[in-house]
Structure 1
Amino acid sequence: MVEIELDEFAFRQFDDPTYAGTRISYDKKDFEEKVNDYYTERVKVQQEFQDRPVLVDGYAPFCKHLFMPNFVGDSITCGAVAITKDNEHLLRTRYESRSEKELPVLVRYFPKGSVSPPPASYFDLILYSREQINKESVAMGKDKPKSDAPWGLISIKAQEVPFELPMSPITVMRNELISQGGSGVPISREDYMKSVEYWKEHAITA
């Protein structure tokens, strides 16, 4: 059985050329297979050597992170770029929703090609439990996905480091609104302020 299935929420990172974030030029099924192969090998190593946990705890019990080396190549660049005096004039804003049923929110970004983000060394693969994915589908008035995989891969972040970087402040806020596409997790002021500290000095490319 597949342990990790690419969730349809992440399809936009493969299929939508206007997606503001990490875009993946790779076959979706092949990507899913690579992720599961890596997960299986990491589980074996962890069991044998008592290595660091394969799945790292996320912002809620249903959320885990799998950090994996970038196997796609240098076409995958880091999703966040530091804001400097030399590039801040290039910043743009727009309203954007992650799906048709979500409310649009204001995002800040560097237009693609205006800055040169470094190649990503790692993927932060964000996983939600099957129970949580089903819960959010019902809350949004959608059918439950027909999958038995225990984990759904809902987002892929390309970055330079093998540990979690803060999600954007608006994502922290939006996550509280399960009826609008969030996960229903109350806002943590501490996590929100950590997010602000990071994202006031960084922006995505889109």
Structure 2
Amino acid sequence: MAAVFLKLDRFALRQFNTAKYAGTRIFFDPDTFESKVNEYYGERHALETEFGDRPALVQGYAPFCRHLFMPNFTGAKVSVQRITAENESLLRTRYEARRPNELPVLVRFFPSEALGGESALPVARYLDVILYSREQCLKEAQAMGEEPPLEDAPWRIISIKAQDEPYETPMQPITIMRNSLIGEGGSGVPLCRKKYAEAVAYWRERAIIT
């Protein structure tokens, strides 16, 4: 068996095989998903090495973060909807925590049934596979009082976004805010006002689909 370079983190498992997750839902076997992602990474890395192609892992918002953009092989649907005058009345809000030991925050969303149900949503073209270094995951686990990851894989898959763009789209503003607080489930990266303003401009016109 080939070495696993990209390991699916337990934090990302909340996205798999459940209709309750607010955001990209992956109805796919997690182990098979991990295998396919590593296979694609191996192919992209070979092209990068041999032909000087675009880096397989694209730099993220911090030194410990990378993105792997790949074709959507899971059938995952788009998880973001642009807000219009016609659908604005369908928006809902609620307080939500990503895991039990995090503080709940207010989120804005479109219920999928209000948009015609899951079957009416288009399949996304790409997956943005978001990676954190093993060292960062160890740091966050310690800060949150959680069990550290035991596997030796240098990169861990912490989130997956199904989208039509082959590049990074802005995080939600509350995610940027939370990331500045490592003791509350964030990554410990100081808030950048410019990035925050860009995120507000993007998400002012969009909302996630649940």
Q: Is the shorter-chain TM-score for this pair beyond 0.5, marking a shared fold?
A: yes
Work out whether 1:129 is the aligned partner of 2:133: yes
Partner AA of 2:113 in structure 1: G
Partner AA of 2:23 in structure 1: G
Within the candidate set 21, 26, 29, 2:28 is matched to 26
Partner of 2:142: 138
Within the candidate set 198, 202, 207, 1:203 is matched to 207
Consecutive aligned runs of 4 or more in structure 1 exceeding 3 Å deviation: none
**Distance (Å, rounded) in 2 between the aligned partners of 1:52 and 1:22:** 26
Q: How does 1:96-175 map to 2 (within 5 A)?
A: 96-115=96-115, 116-175=120-179
Q: How does 1:66-85 map to 2 (within 5 A)?
A: 66-73=68-75, 76-85=76-85
SS class of match (2:152):
coil
SS class of match (1:38):
helix
Question: Over aligned residues, Cα RMSD in angstroms?
Answer: 0.9
**Distance (Å, rounded) in 2 between the aligned partners of 1:117 and 1:46:** 34
Structure 2 vs 1, CA of residues 196 and 117 (structure 1 numbering), >3 Å: closer, same or farther?
Answer: farther
- Give 1:25 shift: 0.5
Structure 2 vs 1, CA of residues 25 and 15 (structure 1 numbering), >3 Å: closer, same or farther?
Answer: closer
Over the matched positions of the two proteins, sequence identity in percent amounts to: 58
Conserved 8 A contact 2:92-2:108: yes
Partner of 1:92: 92
- Give 1:15 shift: 4.3
**Distance (Å, rounded) in 2 between the aligned partners of 1:163 and 1:72:** 18
**Structure 2 portions without partners, runs of 5+:** none
Deviations 1:75-124 (A, max 9, x none): x1111110001100000000101111110000000001222543200000
**Distance (Å, rounded) in 1 between the aligned partners of 2:22 and 2:32:** 23
Partner AA of 1:166 in structure 2: P
**Structure 1 portions without partners, runs of 5+:** none
- Give 1:17 shift: 2.7
Partner AA of 1:66 in structure 2: L
SS class of match (2:114):
coil
Partner AA of 1:42 in structure 2: R
Partner AA of 1:72 in structure 2: T
TM-score by length of 2: 0.95
**Distance (Å, rounded) in 2 between the aligned partners of 1:72 and 1:126:** 16
Conserved 8 A contact 2:17-2:28: no
Partner of 1:37: 39
